[in-house]
Amino acid sequence: MHPVTGSRASAPAMGRVHSPSADRVRTPPRMPAARPPIRSRADAETVALLHRAARVLIEEVPRLTDRIVALMKEREPAYRSAAVDPHEVWREVHDSLSHNVRSLVHPKETRESARSCAWRIGTDRAAQGFPLDALLHAYRIGCTVVWEQLLETASKEDPLGAQSLVHVAADVWNFVDEHCTLVATAYQEVERQLSWHRENRYRIIVAALLDGTARVSDFPEAEQVLGLPEQGRYAVVALEDAEAPCRTPHSAEVGGGLRAVWHTAEGTAHAIVLLGDEDTGVRRLVRGLEVPPGARAGVSPAVTGLAAINTARRLADTALRTRPAAGEAALLNERYPEALVVSSPDLGTALADRMLGPVLALEAADREMLLATLAAWLEAGGSARRAGELLFCHRNTVLNRLRRYEQLTGRSLDHPREVVELSLALSAHRLLTP
């Protein structure tokens, strides 16, 4: 007996993408086959009395509908919502009652139509976002009312015989259980489909922003689905896929409480990070970013607007290619020389060969000694004394090695241009050598 249903309640905001959630269910779920009938323990006289009482109830469906709807509103808060259409609730309770009371009299002829009614209720309410627990509660309210009315009607006709209806109670409540299960199964199937559609749409939108295929006309939907304002300030994080934080798109906090939308594809996880209005947003992000052990991250400069997300993603990828230390994040703003090298590897390799070729041809020990000395001298700002401290040797040793470099290559470290080229060449060698 399954007399109740939900209403035309609106779906929750997160349950919508472009259009109402119901439009997203492209393939309606298939209703499972009916359970095999359970052999009743009631005798023929009891069944006949049940049928007579049920025929009386068929005429009472409008009155029973009023009573059930009133109880639903009294006992289940979801039905008191302003979003619920009371006329629609009444109509659906009436239709469900009609199907199910008739199924007491003609079970074989009406069983499938009653089951279809329950299945439709479950699918419709899931698509509309109506709470499943409220729907099942309403079902049980209605079933209780119908059972009480059956007993009352039978008692008026045959007070002694009505006591025998206890033998059909198990049949009636098995029927109720089957239909509640149908409602719940239909609801969960649609909910699963809707969840898949929302997740898929989410993934498509995030991927389009990152790869630059999003159109201006897509931005309002992106703002609605992702919660990212069209003209917000953003940075993108590129995370090397070593224990990446996600396999499906999701929203989370990252880097000092900043909100991020993550997406993983082709071995790299990317996060679109909403920075807020402060100028220190990117540095705040880098300070708070937790890079998984063994992984590396690259962080883009700040950009404005969803239209610039693709540019930020490419810059974050470039920052990642500058090979930050494991467990660290590279901020592109602090690595422009390295970024220039990795952005044009052919030119970087050519520059390394031009500035370091004779050095790279030395035996391994000599080669590594000279390369380390050149790197330390540049890090020390051209000071042989501070470079010696970094290398744990005397400044004269540093100067001798620098002269050897000049003799091998024909370059002069007194010329600023050649110092710049040397710095880029060292970066190219470190970043581009397999």
Summarize pLDDT for 196-234 with one digit per residue, the tens.
888 888 889 999 999 999 999 889 988 988 889 999 999
pLDDT tens-digit map of 49-105: 888 888 998 889 999 999 999 999 999 999 998 888 889 889 889 988 888 888 888
Structural tokens at position 429: 């060698």
pLDDT at position 242: 52
Q: Say which DSSP state 415 is in.
A: S
Q: Which of 113-122, 378-387, 391-400 is predicted least confidently?
A: 113-122
Mapped onto helix, strand or coil, the DSSP state of residue 274 is strand
Amino acid letter for position 394: H
- In angstroms, rounded to a whole number, what is the distance separating the alpha carbons of residues 237 and 165? 69
Most trustworthy range by pLDDT among 45-49, 267-271, 289-293, 410-414: 410-414
Per-residue pLDDT at 396 exceeds 50: yes
Amino acid letter for position 35: R
pLDDT tens-digit map of 135-173: 999 988 998 898 888 888 888 888 877 777 877 777 777
Query: In 10 A of CB 269, how many CB atoms?
Result: 22
Mean pLDDT of 344-358: 94
pLDDT at position 5: 34
CB burial class (10 A; 0-12, 13-18, 19+) of residue 287? exposed
Cross-strand partners of 262 = 250, 271
CB burial class (10 A; 0-12, 13-18, 19+) of residue 69? buried
Amino acid letter for position 368: E
Mapped onto helix, strand or coil, the DSSP state of residue 303 is strand
Amino acid letter for position 378: L
Residue 19: pLDDT band with limits 50, 70, 90: very low
Amino acid letter for position 408: L
| Closest residue by Cα to residue 242 from 295, 307, 315 | 295
Write down the pTM of the prediction: 0.64
Mapped onto helix, strand or coil, the DSSP state of residue 17 is coil
pLDDT at position 265: 80
Report yes or no: 258 and 233 within 8 Å, Cβ to Cβ: no
Residue 252: pLDDT band with limits 50, 70, 90: low
Structural tokens at position 15: 């349950």
Residue-averaged pLDDT of the chain = 84
Mean pLDDT of 176-191: 88
Q: What share of the chain is helix, strand, coil (3-state, %, to 5)?
A: 65, 10, 25
CATH architecture for the domain at 343-432? Orthogonal Bundle (1.10)
By residue count, the chain amounts to: 434
| Closest residue by Cα to residue 235 from 298, 324, 326, 325 | 298
Cα–chain-centroid distance for residue 103? 43
- In angstroms, rounded to a whole number, what is the distance separating the alpha carbons of residues 434 and 430? 9
Question: How many angstroms separate the Cα of 13 from the Cα of each of 17, 18, 203, 218, 417?
Answer: 8, 11, 18, 18, 59
Q: Say which DSSP state 77 is in.
A: G
| Closest residue by Cα to residue 259 from 238, 233, 298 | 233
Crossing angle for the helix pair 336-343 and 345-360, to the nearest 10 degrees? 100
Mean pLDDT of 295-313: 94
CB burial class (10 A; 0-12, 13-18, 19+) of residue 46? buried
pLDDT at position 41: 57
Per-residue pLDDT at 47 exceeds 90: no
Report yes or no: 183 and 90 within 8 Å, Cβ to Cβ: no
pLDDT at position 35: 60
The span from the first CA to the last CA of the chain, in angstroms, equals 73
Q: Where are the alpha helices (DSSP H) in 158-234?
A: 159-162, 166-211, 219-226
Per-residue pLDDT at 133 exceeds 60: yes
Amino acid letter for position 51: H
pLDDT at position 278: 66
Structural tokens at position 95: 């239709």
| Closest residue by Cα to residue 121 from 112, 109, 132 | 132
**Multiple choice CATH, 41-199, 3.40.309.10, 3.60.110.10, 3.40.190.10, 1.10.490.10:** 1.10.490.10
Question: How many angstroms separate the Cα of 250 from the Cα of each of 193, 206, 245, 417?
Answer: 18, 10, 10, 47
Structural tokens at position 287: 């300070």
Residue showing tokens 């609605």: 224
pLDDT at position 49: 84
Query: In 10 A of CB 111, how many CB atoms?
Result: 17
Cα–chain-centroid distance for residue 86? 34
- In angstroms, rounded to a whole number, what is the distance separating the alpha carbons of residues 146 and 168? 14
